[in-house]
Structure 1
Amino acid sequence: MKKLLFRADGNAAIGAGHIMRCLSIGEAARELGLECVYVTADASFEKVIQDRGFSCVVMNTLYSDMDCEWPALEPVLTRVGPDAVFIDSYYVTPDYLKRLGAYGKTIYLDDVLAFAYPVDVLINYNIYADREDYESLYSGESTTMPELLLGAGYVPLRKEFQLSEVPPVRAHMERVLVSVGGADPERMALKFLNCFIQDRELAGRCEFHFILNSLEPDREEIKEIAARHSWIFLHENVRRMSELMLNCDAAISAAGSTLYELSACGVPTITYVLADNQIPGASAFEARGIMVNAGDCRKKPDFLAGVCRELKLLAADAKRRVKMSKKGRETADGTGAEQMIREIVL
């Protein structure tokens, strides 16, 4: 049986995205008969990984200094003997990746084009990924450009997002999903909640369904406020995210991998930026008419008012929501992780 090793981290500082997309790839690999092992710097997501049925090795190292983790990582690599190693971190260095290449085929998940990565395969599944950008990145470098897997055809979504059909867009917008990312570093869940309560045109006019992740910093305050409003619903430890998405008429979401899940479900979405690496994605989704980009929540003074305004416009325009839903469905079909494994491992 072939073995895959995933090196990724998640915590309150960097969120959950790296871990969650690696889990999606791992689940696809497991269905194809491969064994998967996850290696993390700390124990923040150890239980999440184990609950998905995977082995997790915690090194007790610093996630932001990967060059110093070799005394802990090398014995794991030797023991596991992986056929391929997936790396998903912004803290890799050229030396780290070169050294890792001695232990198996190296596969790096990228979206920032930081340097000419010395790996065997490079994956950028974003809709804005462009081969010419990578050709420019490697031009004049001594590092050979790796095999490139680019575009939304490789988006690593869980199998639950392989949907043959989705519910038709309803004329009236009754339920809105709110997703703020794994760690909510800008504390947007609480800000959105208070904003909706104070907006007389939104408060009580539709249901707001908030996803509360394990790292949410305002969890208790949000629960206290939500308990006083019957139209606010909180969802924790969601097992079937697709079902929750499919039950909603629109969504507000940070511009991470969740956008591809919402696209697969055909949910018209207002997206926003909470980290610099999300800027290209938010812009690309809007440019293609798939989603509305409300801008950068860190820098836009009237950001919350703008989101409320866009939400009301979306509610009043069912035809627009139908078009957005259709374009989203054309963007992601949920088979990217399986396609990825078949092309580079099997």
Structure 2
Amino acid sequence: MSYRPDARGGKVVAIRVDASLEIGTGHVMRCLTLARALRGAGAECHFLCREHPGNLTEMIEAEGFVVHRLPMAAHDETSQPQAEHGRLKDDQEAQPNVPNGVSEHSHWLGADWRTDAEACRTILKGLIPDWLIVDHYALDACWEKAVLPASTRLMVIDDLADRAHIANILLDQNLGRREADYDNMVPEGCHRLIGPRYALLRPEFAELREKSLARRRDPLELKRLLISLGGVDKDNATGAVLEALKSCGLPESCHITVVMGASAPWLDNVRAKADELPWHCDVVVNVTDMAERMTQADLAIGAAGSTSWERCCLGVPTLMLELAENQKGIAGRSIRLARLIT
């Protein structure tokens, strides 16, 4: 069966991305930002997502996008790594055939990569997409070669520069990343979009930038503190921050807002800790007005992930925490270039 909306005549875009309690929500959220923009340009976007615990398939559907669900595999199928990773050999055109190591994120897939590829290939045969967008640390050129229809172009969103791709476009929005970091990992003709200038931000951040910067031109009292440490926060960094705030001399009138995802495993714990604070503290989930909340915040406590670019766009003073290995580079370079404090 073909899902392709030929009568409409618009581009069809398939997006392979996951969210889970381990992966977090950031990959899906930035793909949603891109999908909204593509829809605004007339494209029809389909998401291919595995049903991990903590997935965001219902949220994606609530945004009006079609989700093709991939079921979780049996336990003995979830730990099979891809065979080929790393840089391409001199005689390879982004089609690695020689084992180069194992991705530390292979288990994020929730299935053997071949099983995932077969399921996705079946879906893509029906969609016949013009573009396939992949945002997944567990996938590389082996998977891409196995699933990509002949007429479909490929965009890869990555942060790690640790494996090969056969992409037509590669996006890495990380501060300090260089085009050369992907030498021998992508085809020679791949268009590389490198650095924060290509960060996937929703339009409201640009719309509120001047308003946010204007209110910071004069010294501000600390009246509003915004805490956002990821949609999942599986290690309960938020709870640790709230515990630490008890010994801080915040103004009595300070209003604290904690933003989390509805699937965050420590949500009830965080709400209990918020009730113990001597300041008014709201815990809110799945907010749709994050740009406005950041604009009104006098200080933020946030993770060194993709929301860093949202805070930078709005000029929000930030206490930044490293919560994942791939955030260390962002944190270190941000400190040097933006004078942030960890």
Q: Which interval holds the TM-score relative to the shorter structure?
A: 0.7 to 0.9
Distance in 2, Cα, partners of 1:220 & 1:252: 20
Q: 2:206 aligns to what?
A: 162
Does the Cα contact within 8 Å between 1:28 and 1:159 map onto a contact in 2? no
Distance in 1, Cα, partners of 2:300 & 2:59: 25
Does the Cα contact within 8 Å between 2:220 and 2:298 map onto a contact in 1? no
Q: What is the SS of the residue equivalent to 2:148? A: helix
Does the Cα contact within 8 Å between 1:268 and 1:290 map onto a contact in 2? no
Map residues 188-227 of structure 1 onto 2, 5 A cutoff.
188-197=237-246, 199-202=247-250, 204=252, 206-227=254-275
Does the Cα contact within 8 Å between 1:3 and 1:84 map onto a contact in 2? yes
TM-score (norm 2): 0.79
Does the Cα contact within 8 Å between 2:121 and 2:146 map onto a contact in 1? no
Match of 2:124 among 65, 77, 85: 77
Q: 1:327 aligns to what?
A: none
Distance in 1, Cα, partners of 2:273 & 2:164: 48
Q: 1:291 to 1:166 in 2, by over 3 A?
A: farther
Distance in 2, Cα, partners of 1:93 & 1:116: 6
Does the Cα contact within 8 Å between 2:11 and 2:44 map onto a contact in 1? yes
Does the Cα contact within 8 Å between 1:4 and 1:83 map onto a contact in 2? yes
| CA shift digits 1:185-209 (9 cap, x unpaired) | 2211111111112x14137462221
Q: 1:131 to 1:271 in 2, by over 3 A?
A: same
Q: 1:8 to 1:290 in 2, by over 3 A?
A: farther
Corresponding residue pairs, total: 288
Does the Cα contact within 8 Å between 1:183 and 1:217 map onto a contact in 2? yes
Greater share of residues in helix: 1
4+ aligned runs moved over 6 Å, structure 1 = none
Q: Is 2:16 the partner of 1:2?
A: no
Q: Is 2:93 the partner of 1:48?
A: no
Listed as ranges, the gaps of 5+ residues in structure 2 are: 1-9, 74-108
Map residues 261-300 of structure 1 onto 2, 5 A cutoff.
261-292=310-341, 294=342
Q: 2:157 aligns to what?
A: 109
Match of 2:146 among 99, 116, 125: 99
The one-letter amino acid of 2:47's match is Y
Listed as ranges, the gaps of 5+ residues in structure 1 are: 295-346
| CA shift digits 1:267-310 (9 cap, x unpaired) | 11121111111111111111102522x2xxxxxxxxxxxxxxxx
Q: Is 2:31 the partner of 1:19?
A: no
The one-letter amino acid of 1:8's match is V
Distance in 2, Cα, partners of 1:271 & 1:4: 35
TM superposition shift of 1:67:
2.6
Distance in 2, Cα, partners of 1:290 & 1:214: 32
Match of 1:57 among 52, 64, 68: 68
Distance in 2, Cα, partners of 1:259 & 1:210: 16
Map residues 226-241 of structure 1 onto 2, 5 A cutoff.
226-229=274-277, 230-241=279-290
Q: What is the SS of the residue equivalent to 1:102? A: coil
